Amino acid sequence: YMEAEKQASGNARAQGRIVMATVKGDVHDIGKNIVGVVLGCNNYEVIDLGVMVPAERILEVARTKRVDLIGLSGLITPSLDEMVHVASELEREGFHVPLLIGGATTSRAHTAVKIAPAYAQPVVHVADASRAVGVVASLKSAEQRSAFADANRREQERTREQHRGPRVAKLLSIEEARRRKAAIDWRGYKPPVPSFSGVRKWECIPLGDLVPYIDWTPFFHAWELKGIYPRILKDAIVGPRAKELLDDAKNLLAEIVADKSLTARAVAGFWPANSVGDDIELYADDALTRPLATFYTLRQQMQKPEGEFEYALADFIAPKETGLADYLGAFAVTAGIGAAELAARFEKQHDDYNAIMAKALADRLAEAGAEWLHKQIRVAWGFGCDEQLSVSDLLHERYRGIRPAPGYPASPDHTEKTTLFTLLDATRATSIELTENFAMLPAASICGLYFSHPDSRYFAVGKIDRDQVLDYQRRKGLELRAIERWLGPNLNYNRDNS
């Protein structure tokens, strides 16, 4: 309708042309797609290259289409390095168009410190879709571009100067951090024994079983409506729009469940385990004599008040010297099979709204699947049989145990997914594949580990020093540069000068 109106009025010329892409190795695109729709509605021509787009493809299209701006998006931490690479290639090939940076793991600080120095043209971090039009308009305006770019450059110079300054807090040595590990009393503790060992598959989970487990708060955040469900529905400012969005979502969700447009699958397993230092060793037998695999965990090193612990996930598994046979679980679940095809069907009908909605609902169903599956696992482990928890209690994690995911705060190394996927044979069992940067495809997929100890808890590893990085490299047997790449956001030193 809008295009027809522009043609009828003779004002068909776009205000500008922008190429957008989720960078190589990353598969998440909901935020990027929302930005694209917002820009399109404001008369900008958007060339969306999709997901997992290599730098050479971005540069090729930018050159042949003579674009005015380039937009890069990414969700997982390895995408940050890929964005630096794209910026470096733009500089090497002499481009003169501004570069926009966005996505959940991106930040003004990383853009200023890492990406902007690689490219002489304006590099602007766009926090959310609501700001995209203003940024693009300023960069396109002959009157505003110079002042906007100068202000952006001065702000980034201040950020870099702050980054070069002294660290806010001195970290503990890794030896001292280990002396302050979680003080769990293993005497008299009897680890629960699962009702099955090895791997179990769920090839087609009924979508209707997952719907009650949906946490709607992140759904609104994906659409940049900030608030907690259900309170957001009564918000004086965004309440009416939130209610309208929820009604639309539930209508489409009902169609998806009825039509079985999406398929949910899962795989999970248990293995005998012990901790050895900061490592978690898994065994092929209950006697703990045949090593099977090792998960490598990282420990907090930030200074804490006396009496507080420096956590690592290995703390929550019985140490080998206790003689206890503990267990570790692992899982992978997806609700994204069919999501790309469903979104493409809507896009073919020029229905961008429902195309984005379909992917957002697939994400919610995947998270619901993880919650549903964890409940089955707690029952299989024995301690979940007598749970008297509401869905709200589950969403607020008022149960025993945790399920941390590789790439998230308690386990920031994405490469640990390789061991997890191998143990579960996850790709064969669920059709989930890992990209070269360890994103999961379909995007609406989740994986992680299961811990059963009552004292297990979530935490953020935070910044780590070079002594732990070198120790971690020795344990994993990878090159230092590879370790530093995957742990980049956690490093308490500049790897380029190390």
Catalytically annotated residues: 26, 28, 79
The CA R_g of the chain, rounded to the nearest whole Å, is 24
For tokens 């390095």, name the residue: 81
Q: Sign of dihedral through CA atoms 308, 309, 310, 312? A: negative
Query: For residue 64, which of 47, 84, 80, 50 has the smallest C-alpha distance?
Result: 47
Neighbour order of strands in the sheet with 17-22: 45-48, 17-22, 69-73, 99-102, 123-125
CA distance 450 to 334: 17
Angle at 22 between CA 487 and CA 111, to 5 degrees: 55
3-class DSSP state of 286: coil
Tell me how far apart the alpha carbons of residues 232 and 411 are, in angstroms, rounded to a whole number.
31
Buried b (16+ CB within 10 A) or exposed e, 156-179: beebbeeeeeeeeeebbebeebbe
Which neighbouring-strand residues pair with 53? 23
Of 73, 65, 64, 24, the closest CA to residue 45 belongs to 65
Residue at 300: amino acid letter: Q
Burial profile 336-364: b = 16 or more Cβ within 10 angstroms, e = fewer: bbbbbebbeebbeeeebebbbbbbbbbbb
Residue 291 near residue 281, CB atoms below 8 Å: yes
Whose structure tokens read 């295009």? 3
Q: Helices (DSSP H) in 200-317: which residue ranges?
A: 207-210, 217-222, 239-259
| Residue 129 near residue 34, CB atoms below 8 Å | yes
Record the tokens describing residue 84, joined without a space: 């630096």
Spatial distance between the Cα atoms of 218 and 472, rounded to a whole number of angstroms: 34
CA–CA gap between residue 292 and residue 24 (Å, rounded): 32
Q: Give 324's Cβ-side CA count (13 Å radius).
A: 21
**C-alpha distances out from residue 466 to 162, 251, 469, Å:** 21, 52, 5
> How far, in Å, CA of 465 to CA of 112, rounded?
22
